[in-house]
Amino acid sequence: MAYDIGEALNIADLRNAARKALPKGLFEFVLRGTEDEIALRRNRARFDAISMRPRVLVDVSERSQAHAFFGKPSTMPIAIAPTGAAGLLWFDGEIAVARAAASAGIPFTLSTASIVSMERVAEEAGGCLWFQLYMLPERRMSHQLVERARAAGYEGLVVTVDTAATPNREYNRRNGFSLPMRLTRRNVWDVARHPGWFFKVFLRYLLRSGIPMLENYPDELRLKLTEKTDGRRGLPKSDSLDWNDLRELRKMWKGPLMVKGILNPEDAALAADCGAEAVIVSNHGGRNLDCSMAPIEALPAVVDRVGKRVDVMVDSGFERGGDVVKALALGAKGVFVGRAPLWGVSVAGEAGAGRAIAILHEEIDRVLAFAGCPAIDALDRSILQLTPGFGGWTPAAEAPPVSSVPLVA
């Protein structure tokens, strides 16, 4: 029976419905973190370490979340984060999420590692589209991806820089969910217990074009998800990426350039030196380095260091409107959400992803009223109460000077 999205009162409800709809291996691939999942838990805990000291008797009868990303209006200060393999959760899932974002009037970021090609998403979804780049083993191939994104009409380029190694997600290996995907007794049983997903998603791919592939990859790298990689093919490898690569990309890409996966203010300054318009403070949703600090905690120091030069955005663990309001009050110019729309799309496609966005909109609206701040872009740190030493943050005037790291020519 189809899931009634009206039943979802919050993102956790959508997640619980997705837990039932998806094979466990797939659900855990989206849900979980890495290694001992300390970063994942810390991301949540550090939101909870911030409380609010709201203002009252402010006329908040006209509340607005109207925002602009790089001068282009957005209905909310939220963008959809790139999440590879969203197309495994729902048939052509990337198109479904992108359409939901377009209807809601917010930007959608397509991952390099998507199941649906960037050209099809652009043709069939519309709206404000950004493309996320993972550097491929050969620079030339990455540059071709950038060129394709430009030709397909993507307006922004998000370069992910926090994945220098393959993350150690042990649960994926146990679930047989690594690349190449293996058929094991365990995952065959898992799929057999979720016939809805098999018939509505996987079988439709099989009937249309066979086992799904990462469609953006160039021909020489593109593999079926079950095919063995020869080391050169398969997942991106970016351990030789450096600031020169970013400068190269800056020369190629005329639109907004966002650098995703920054936690250190020093790196944020280097990204600004390279000509990026934005940095995204992120620990990949707690999926890569398990001992990384929480982005919400890294945010204030990054804002203080580069907030006047570039837009500082943030992601990782945003699940409630209050989380978003806290980040904006700390100085973020936008918040990316990854898992929230994925839970929605898993249970009801475009409508489900739209429901996730609508839930966040409703929650932000309520928090703005309670906080006594009718206009979202007018939020500032005065409404926040941070636990002492939060993020090691000191006001800009007292911050010690940070030496600049020379760029290699």
Ligand X SMILES: Cc1cc2nc3c(=O)[nH]c(=O)nc-3n(C[C@H](O)[C@H](O)[C@H](O)COP(=O)(O)O)c2cc1C
Task: Look up tokens 């397909």; give the residue.
Answer: 152
Q: From the list 34, 74, 83, 175, which residue makes contact with ligand X (rule: CB under 6 A)?
A: 83
Is the Cβ of residue 98 or residue 373 nearer to ligand X in the bound state? 98
Nearer to ligand X, 129 or 373 (CB): 129
143 counts as catalytic: no
Count of residues binding ligand X (CB under 6 A)?
Answer: 22
Q: Does 258 help bind ligand X (rule: CB under 6 A)?
A: no
Q: Which of the stretches 64-72, 82-90, 238-246, 248-256 binds ligand X when contact is defined by CB under 6 A?
A: 82-90
Kindly tell me which residue out of 34, 160, 216, 238 binds ligand X, with binding defined by CB under 6 A.
160
With a CB cutoff of 8 Å and minimum separation 6, the contacts of 398 are none
Is there a contact between 114 and 236 (Cβ–Cβ < 8 Å)? no
Q: Which of 143, 194, 284, 361 is catalytic?
A: 284
Tokens 């609010």 found at: 52
Q: Minimum distance from CB of 282 to ligand X (Å)?
A: 5
The full DSSP string for 79-121 is EEPP-TTGGGTSTTHHHHHHHHHHHHT--EEE-TT-SS-HHHH
80 touches ligand X by CB under 6 A: no
CB-nearer residue toward ligand X: 67 or 339: 339
| Tokens describing residue 312 | 């500082």
Distance between CA 262 and CA 84 in Å, rounded? Answer: 19
| Binders of ligand X in range 102-121 (CB under 6 A) | 111, 113
Provide the minimum distance between the beta carbon of 71 and ligand X in the complex, in angstroms, as a whole number. 23
Minimum CB separation of residue 111 from ligand X in Å reads 3
C-alpha 25, offset from chain centre: 20
What number of helices (H) and strands (E) belong to the chain?
Answer: 15, 12
216 counts as binding ligand X under rule CB under 6 A = no
Q: How far is the CB of 265 from ligand X (least distance, A)?
A: 19
Contact criterion met (CB below 8 Å) for 136 and 221: yes
- With CB atoms as reference, the residue minimizing the distance to ligand X is 338
Per residue in 111-124, is it b (16+ CB within 10 Å) or e — as a string? bbbbbbbbebbbee
Using CB under 6 A, pick the residue from 17, 81, 95, 345 that binds ligand X.
81
Q: Is position 82 an interface residue for ligand X (rule: CB under 6 A)?
A: yes
Contact (CB, 8 A) for 101 and 107: yes
**Does the CA dihedral 206-211-212-218 come out positive or negative?**
negative
Closest CA to 132 of 94, 91, 165, 177: 94
Q: Does 339 bind ligand X (CB under 6 A)?
A: yes
300 versus 341: smaller Cβ distance to ligand X: 341
Q: Is 154 in the site for ligand X (CB under 6 A)?
A: no
Instruction: Compute the distance between CA of residue 398 and CA of residue 46 in angstroms, rounded to an integer.
Output: 23
Site for ligand X in 266-295 (CB under 6 A): 282, 284-285, 287
**Are 163 and 284 a contacting pair, CB within 8 Å?**
yes
How many angstroms separate the CA atoms of 160 and 117, rounded? Answer: 18
Query: For ligand X, which is the closer residue by CB, 281 or 373?
Result: 281
Q: Residue from 24, 42, 260, 333 that binds ligand X (CB under 6 A)?
A: 260
Instruction: Report the C-alpha gap between 301 and 6 in whole angstroms.
Output: 40
Listed in sequence order, the residues at least 6 apart from 1 whose beta carbon sits closer than 8 Å to its beta carbon are none
**318 lies in the site for ligand X, by CB under 6 A:** yes
Smallest distance, Å, CB 382 to ligand X? 27
Question: CA-to-CA distance for 232 and 142, rounded, in angstroms?
Answer: 14
Residue closer to ligand X by CB (options 15, 67) is: 15
The correct pick among 5, 17, 21, 30 for binding ligand X (CB under 6 A) is 30
* Residue placing its CB nearer to ligand X in the complex, 54 or 137: 137
C-beta closer to ligand X: residue 65 or 316: 316
Q: Map residues 31-70 to x or -, x wherever contact with ligand X holds by CB under 6 A.
A: ----------------------------------------
User: Known catalytic residues?
Assistant: 284
Q: What residues line the site for ligand X (CB under 6 A)? A: 29-30, 81-84, 111, 113, 132, 160, 260, 282, 284-285, 287, 315-318, 337-339
